[in-house]
Amino acid sequence: MNIVLDTSAAVRVVLDRDIHLIKILQQAEHIFVPHLFFAEVGNVFLKYYQFQNMHPEACKLYMMQCRQLITDVVDEYTFNEEVFDIATKNQLSFYDAIYLAMAKKLAANLLTEDKKLNDVASKLGLVAKEV
């Protein structure tokens, strides 16, 4: 089984140590993310620092732990046209559509906390793992 891991699920794994998600990731042969993932993770923990007073060293540790979940990074620009089509047809941001297009291209499961992404994944015939 291959997984496309989105930021919401990765953050939940490292912050909540969610056993269900951890088991799914442990079963995965490959865990794919787009390059965008790293900026999104950084932004999440910047907000934890700014608005929830999380210690900067804790933020950096969690960012590193998110990186350690990954086995493969995919260049999302290689399929931007498909991303655009998915985004426009499903009223999604371009960023969210990257994860769906990647799952479709790699015949992978999408692991996300985002209900709308899971709904669109089902509509596209992708197997989505809902958390």
Q: What share of the chain is helix, strand, coil (3-state, %, to 5)?
A: 65, 15, 20
Query: Which pLDDT does position 127 carry in this prediction?
Result: 67
- From the list 6, 17, 39, 38, the residue with the least C-alpha distance to 109 is 6
Instruction: Give the tens place of pLDDT for each residue, 84-106.
Output: 999 999 999 999 999 999 999 99
The token duo for 69 is: 């979940």
Do residues 4 and 96 touch, judged by C-beta distance below 8 A? no
| CATH code of the domain containing 80 | 3.40.50.1010
Number of domains making up the chain: 1
Q: Cβ-count burial of 17 within 10 angstroms (0-12 exposed, 13-18 middle, 19+ buried)? A: exposed
Instruction: Give the tens place of pLDDT for each residue, 11-51.
Output: 999 999 989 999 999 999 999 999 999 999 999 999 999 99
Domain that holds residue 115: 2-130
Report which secondary-structure segment, H or E, holds 34: strand 30-34
pTM given for the model = 0.91
